[in-house]
């Protein structure tokens, strides 16, 4: 088995990560005065939590690492990736955190069967969900909670 390597990302991806981080902070801040609301962060194609900049060669925090530092904080995080090496590294970043679930495998199935049914709008649950696939087409049909997402 080849050793694990972080993905190299270009300027556009670095900018996108900055935007996601700022949006996450604005998203959680919007719910600051709304008591009883639980905020979830879902990244269906999370990667390892770190990347390498093509421009500088330096490490760049990925969306999971940035989301974990957002203030006000999210109440729970779901990180999903097909690559076991990436989720294993993500586990080292999230060690001892009880508010993080990391899944290796098909995001479509895991989201529709395990994650989205737990995030019930009627129970004042809200989610920021990143669906930015870099691999195979992403498909998510309607589940019992009424979620319907398609891409790819």
Read off the pLDDT of each residue in 101-122 and give the average, rounded to a whole number.
90
* pLDDT-derived band at 67, boundaries 50, 70, 90: very high
Q: What is the pLDDT of residues 84-94, one digit of tens each?
A: 999 999 999 99
Q: Do the domain assignments include residue 19? A: yes
Q: Do the domain assignments include residue 2? A: no
Q: Do the domain assignments include residue 1? A: no
Taking the model in full, what pTM does it have?
0.86
Query: How far apart are the two ends of the chain, measured CA to CA in Å?
Result: 29
Least confidently predicted of 18-22, 121-125, 134-138: 134-138
- The CATH number covering residue 43 comes to 3.40.50.150
Q: Do the domain assignments include residue 4? A: no
Read off the pLDDT of each residue in 28-33 and give the average, rounded to a whole number.
94
Look up the domain containing 27 and give its range: 10-150
Q: What is the pLDDT of residues 6-29, one digit of tens each?
A: 999 999 999 999 999 999 999 999
- Domain count of the chain? 1
Give the CA distances from residue 39 to residues 20, 56, 57, 139, 152, in Å, rounded to whole numbers and listed in that order.
15, 34, 34, 24, 27
Note whether 148 and 140 are within 8 A (CB).
yes
């Amino acid at each position: 088995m080849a050793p694990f390597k972080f993905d190299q990302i270009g300027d556009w991806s670095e900018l996108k990560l900055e935007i996601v981080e700022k949006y996450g902070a604005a998203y959680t801040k919007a719910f600051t005065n709304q008591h009883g609301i639980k905020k979830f962060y879902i990244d269906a194609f999370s990667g390892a939590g770190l990347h390498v900049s093509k421009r500088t060669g330096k490490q760049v925090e990925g969306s999971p690492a940035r989301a974990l530092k957002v203030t006000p904080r999210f109440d729970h995080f779901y990180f999903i990736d097909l690559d076991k090496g990436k989720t294993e590294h993500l586990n080292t970043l999230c060690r001892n955190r009880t508010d993080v679930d990391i899944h290796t495998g098909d995001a479509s199935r895991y989201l529709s069967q395990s994650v989205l049914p737990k995030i019930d709008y009627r129970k004042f649950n809200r989610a920021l969900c990143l669906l930015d696939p870099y691999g195979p087409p992403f498909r998510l049909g309607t589940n019992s909670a009424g979620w319907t997402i398609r891409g790819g």
